[in-house]
Structure 1
């Protein structure tokens, strides 16, 4: 028996890999929705994970850190906020505090 498919409608559902009950610590919106700056969840409203393990919408934490009174501290635990990066160390962020300044760069020419 041979079957011909005349029409096919694909549907995709995505979600962030975070617990459903977890919300942005700044805007208090679920991560499956958007912050107040975005219209669509996903690529337009990505998440940021801090070394302290707190998650925020990118726009929310950017606005928070721009405010002088935030002093670049995490709004949840008040530790210095540093974005956790997966730089080949298995996501531990071991190299996240490495800062390179222009004065540290040596020219070889």
Structure 2
């Protein structure tokens, strides 16, 4: 028995390039909220992306030399 494909339609999926949980991996607070160090969410509590693709509140990551998620040396993405 020989099968011949005459037509096909590709199906694809997509997702935003953001963290899976939308929460900081350090304080576990939502990214649209603020970190425990801040009183009010906004520009004073920015998110910081690493070259390893992990994201944290800037204040949670202060004084960290490595990514808390994968232990690679922390390099801020440009």
Q: How does 1:77-92 map to 2 (within 5 A)?
A: 77-85=70-78
Q: How does 1:97-108 map to 2 (within 5 A)?
A: none
4+ residue segments displaced more than 6 Å: none
Q: Distance in 2 between matches of 1:79 and 1:59?
A: 19
TM-score by length of structure 1 reads 0.52
Going by fraction, where is helix more abundant, 1 or 2? 1
Cα RMSD between the aligned structures?
1.9
Instruction: Return 5+ residue gaps in structure 1 as ranges.
Output: 1-16, 66-71, 86-109
| 1:51 to partner: Cα distance | 0.4
Instruction: Return 5+ residue gaps in structure 2 as ranges.
Output: 1-16
Q: Distance in 1 between matches of 2:32 and 2:44?
A: 12
Relative contact order, CA 8 A, sep 6+: which one is greater?
2
| Residue matched to 2:9 | none
| 1:36 to partner: Cα distance | 0.7
